[in-house]
Structure 1
Amino acid sequence: MPPRPLDARALAALAANPGCRRRALLDGAGVDKGALAEALGSPAPFGQSQFAFVRGNAFEARVKAEGGSELLGLLCARTGEAPPEADAVALPDLAADGPAGRAERTRLALDEATGPGSGSWTLMDHPMLSLEVAGSTAYLEPDALAVHPDGRVTVIEIKSFPILDGSADPAKVGAAARQAAVYGLALRERERAVRDHALLVCPRDFSNHPAADLIDFRQQMATTRRQLARLTRVEEIAAALPEGTSFAPDLPAEALRSAVESVPAAYAPECLATCELAFHCRERARERGAVEALGRAVRGELGGLATVGEVLAACSGDAGHDDPASSALRRAAALREEALGS
């Protein structure tokens, strides 16, 4: 089956959960996790609706119309620079065969735009960047990149969620910042001068008119760099699998389930918003009574207690544990009984 590309959204999710070998392997191998979840009987409702997809494309086309003059106007309004004349903006052709060809074409265009003596604006529509992650090459496609006359690059993210009364959904803005941080990291890995703020462009209120603001993604970029560096190389994960392991969705259900379970997962409730296999992993975690199903914060507080059964035993004092987590649980259970008057 053709491999699915490892994009910025997947990398941001990997960086948020670097301990999940299952996702690292499946994403690195280009496995279609949506089809895998369907075959396992635990589909996840992922992706935009067709209406939202069409609306988002129409909004992006409107913002980039007329050579991106409105887009650069929004950027300059935030940076305090003078907007360039339409005929003074370079719009390089980035078309090429395949992701690798497009990435090379983008590299050449960036060299030209940031080289000595350039001194003009360049707007790149859907460039292609590359980033090495755990032994795999990820090809990343930002909505746009703007090269300023000083040679520095601004990452531009165009989203279809609205800015209502001057503010947007913090969770969606955070996700956009993490995605922009992946693009910024890919540029800095190639020694490009990237500005510390990305431009986020969204519809204003319920109209199709754009509003924009700069988002500081330095913290997200540092976190992403650190987390991606912690990922085990795909080759190491694959080497530990039984010979002939396959994740083809047309395999018998039991064989496919066995293949998936042969790769360790690190489930957390946050996975439900970022991974197509999250419902399957949650079901397995609940079957084992794993405390990870209760969240990372709870898991961190429970120390060596790995299952709900162990936690309940520690509360009653039957487990014989003498660690701080067990002592705190027994104290909490006593306080609860006292409060309930039992």
Structure 2
Amino acid sequence: MPPQTRGTALRHRLAELRGPDVPAKALDARALAALAANPGCRRRAILDGAGVDKTALAGALGAPSAFGQSQFALTRGNAFEAKVKADGGAELLRLVREHLDPEAESTGRAAAVPDLSAIGPEGRTARTALALREAATAAEDGENSEGGEGSESGKGGQGGGWVLLDHPMLALEVAGSPAFLEPDAVVVHPDGSWTVVEIKSFPMLDGSADPAKVGAAARQAAVYVLALEEVAARLDPAPRVRHDVLLVCPKDFSNLPTASAVDVRKQRAVTARQLARLTRVQDIADALPEGTCFAPDLPAEQLTAAVEAVPATYAPECLSACELAFHCRQRSRAADEVTTLGRAVRAELGGLATVEDVLSAARGESGDAADPAVAALRRAAALRAEALGVPCP
């Protein structure tokens, strides 16, 4: 089947899974980052690939999710972002120079802030691509005109000036459809390279932030890096997209901005692999029973059967990343699965998939004594019995 025909068939199949006349929910960077955080979950892959509204689906299943930011957190985040970008982004550019490009400190040129407004996401995406192309051309022209021998500006490799793109719009193809992404900012350095900026409202205390929140921000920024690389690949020569993104947060308990460079190469690689798997979402769809549909207005029994037809890989981390987490947790607990205890515990237990299997192995009722996991469980049971002064099971 030709690729174009195959893509049309896939889009038709995904529309059937969403339900008749149900519009597709657009993927954003948070959703794509969450996919990378749990790449083995086929349920999330097919639901996101089909554009299913998981919030509405969770409510229809009787397990509504509290996933998402509170209104207070959104307001606080917006106020902090406005502070960081005030005065033409002077403070933001200072942080970029300090943490990512100290060699550019001597440039005295004011930053350019192009107007990125346009009609619709497609228009904004095109306007962003044009602004990036113009910045790359200016940097190249600057290098050619100022980078001669003996030139002081050429000495530092400074070709053009700083350019700040405030809330640009990027597009990334996911499962044959464009996902429109909106980073907080993209900075074009005087040497023509591009940096993604993530502005978050959680604090950096004594120079470090919550590792879990930093990890989530890094995965989200990696999605933007991938989208920027697609824009850069269409230019000749292709500008360098930096893999060190700038994470800007409040300093300690104040509202003053501070920043840290975060290397997202690992997160970028994981996200790229997961997106490549999403392009083969047809394989998951083909394995579903005929007539499977995730439309939220279906009867609860039919909807539950449709969701359960797709295997899920639940872990406690899903509670902060997926709207269906409460439903999947209920099912995981009902099935006595050890994944409810976390991925680390699941990895240590090897082939023991249920809590009953674990307890049985610890009691010596089942399992191979040569299995390291079984041996460790029996040793732990013996130590527990010894500490409590009870007979060893």
TM-score (ref. length: structure 2): 0.79
Provide the residue aligned with 1:287 in structure 2.
334
The secondary structure found in structure 2 opposite 1:72 is helix
- Aligned equivalents of 1:175, 1:123: Cα separation in 2: 24
- Corresponding position of 1:243: 290
Amino acid at match of 1:182: V
Q: Counterpart of 1:297 in structure 2: which amino acid?
A: A
Letter matched to residue 340 of structure 1 = L
Matched with 1:150 is 191
Of 68, 83, 86, which residue of structure 1 is paired with 2:89?
68
Return the letter of the residue paired with 2:85.
Answer: K
Residues 265-274 or 317-326, more deviating: 317-326
Partner of 1:77: 98
2:315 matched residue in structure 1: 268
Tell me if the contact between 2:174 and 2:279 (Cα under 8 Å) persists in the aligned partners: no
| Alpha-carbon separation, structure 1, partners of 2:106 and 2:299 | 60
Alignment pair present for 1:210 and 2:257 = yes
Contact 1:76 1:83 (8 Å CA) reproduced: no
CA distance in 2, matches of 1:307, 1:100: 48
Please name the residue that 1:96 is paired with: 118
- Structure 2: how far apart are the matches of 1:131 and 1:230? 14
Aligned to 2:380: 332
Letter in 1 for 2:384: R
Distance 1:77 1:300, change over 3 A: closer
What are the within-5 Å matches in structure 2 for residues 116-155 of structure 1? 116-117=140-141, 119-155=160-196
Q: How far, CA to CA, are the matches of 2:251 and 2:43 in structure 1?
A: 39
1:1-342 equivalences under 5 Å are 1-78=22-99, 79-80=101-102, 81-82=104-105, 88-115=110-137, 116-117=140-141, 119-190=160-231, 191=233, 192-231=239-278, 233-319=280-366, 321=368, 324=371, 325-341=373-389, 342=391
Alpha carbons of structure 1 residues 296 and 169: separation in structure 2 relative to 1, 3 Å: closer
1:179-231 deviations in whole A, cap 9, x for unaligned? 11221122234434112321122223444332223222233323333444455
Find the aligned partners of 1:72 and 1:200 in 2 and give their Cα distance: 13
Residue 287 of structure 1 aligns to which amino acid in structure 2? A
Tell whether the 8 Å contact from 2:247 to 2:261 is kept in structure 1 after alignment: yes
One-letter amino acid of the structure 1 residue matched with residue 297 of structure 2: D
How much has 1:295 moved relative to structure 2? 1.5
Residues 55-88 of structure 1 show CA distances to partners (whole Å, capped at 9, x for unaligned) of 22122223223322232122223332237657x4
Return 97-106 or 318-327, whichever deviates more: 318-327
> Separation in 2 of the partners of 1:189 and 1:195?
13
1:12 touches 1:182 (CA, 8 Å); kept in 2?
yes
Contact 2:24/2:51 (<8 A) preserved: yes
CA root-mean-square deviation: 2.4
Q: Distance in 2 between matches of 1:68 and 1:83?
A: 17
CA contact (8 A) 1:246 1:256 kept: yes
The letter for the 2-side match of 1:21 is: R
Rounded Cα–Cα distance in structure 2 between residues aligned with 1:170 and 1:132? 29
> What are the superposed Cα offsets for residues 125-183 of structure 1, whole Å, 9 maximum, x if unpaired?
11122223454432221100000111101111111122344433232222222211221
Deviation track 1:264-313 (CA, whole Å, cap 9, x = no partner) reads 10111111111111111011011111111121122222222221222222
Q: Report SS of the residue matched to 1:89.
A: coil
Matched letter for residue 332 of structure 1? A
What is aligned with 2:10? none
Q: Which amino acid aligns with 1:110?
A: L
Local SS of the residue matching 2:306: helix
Q: Is the alpha carbon distance of 1:302 and 1:171 closer, same or farther for their aligned partners in structure 2, counting shifts above 3 Å?
A: closer
Distance 1:284 1:214, change over 3 A: same
8 Å contact kept, 2:96–2:246: yes
